Amino acid sequence: MPEPLPSGRLPRAFDTLRPLSRRALLAIALPAAALFLPRPPARAAGGGSKVTRKEIERAIMCPCEEKCGKVLANCICDYSGGFRRDIDHMIARGMTRGQILDALVKAYGPTVLAAPGTSNWLDVVSWTLPFLALALGAWGITRLLRRWASPKPPPPAPPTAGLPSGTSAYEHRLDDELSRFEP
């Protein structure tokens, strides 16, 4: 533990704690704020790039009865083959990525999505809660480090009321007991 300087400040190595916490807060707050930026509109089926099955597979979870819990792109269960054919049929009909995902959410529920959306408050909380937990943890660790690194207050002086100056209660008691044994 470093000793405080005569001015009561800690050595220079601890000067970086305060700016570091600001940097950490910015590193957490900026990506979280990006969630609230407006998204660009979806492209029409006729214009722009065509959606691929791999793109859809990376965006959804396998909805099999076994609940394998894998992203469809990585799933090899028996149910995934038929599910991939359904996606191919939707792509062949000219559906956009958004329309396909909406149809899958309508059929299987919101748990089919690999990542939460930003359409309601629960989805926004799902995105922001990990960042808030990191910020709270960084704040707590910073407070703990500062408490550990702060100088300790001096211990309180023992009470010496009614005793001559320069003697402690123990010295007074010792003198009393020794006087009983001396002739």
Q: Are the CB atoms for 8 and 2 separated by under 8 Å?
A: no
Asked if 67 and 26 sit in the same domain, the reply is no
Task: For residue 92, tell me if it sits in a domain.
Answer: yes
Asked if 103 and 75 sit in the same domain, the reply is yes
**In total, how many domains does the chain have?**
2
Task: For residue 47, tell me if it sits in a domain.
Answer: no
Asked if 127 and 102 sit in the same domain, the reply is no
What percent of the chain has pLDDT above 90?
11
Asked if 73 and 95 sit in the same domain, the reply is yes
At 3 the pLDDT is: 60
Range of the domain at 141: 12-36+121-149
Asked if 58 and 89 sit in the same domain, the reply is yes
Among 168, 135, 79, which residue's Cα sits nearest to residue 87? Answer: 79
Asked if 104 and 58 sit in the same domain, the reply is yes
Asked if 16 and 64 sit in the same domain, the reply is no
At 13 the pLDDT is: 52
At 140 the pLDDT is: 94
Which stretches of the chain score pLDDT less than 50? 43-48
Task: For residue 181, tell me if it sits in a domain.
Answer: no
Task: For residue 80, tell me if it sits in a domain.
Answer: yes
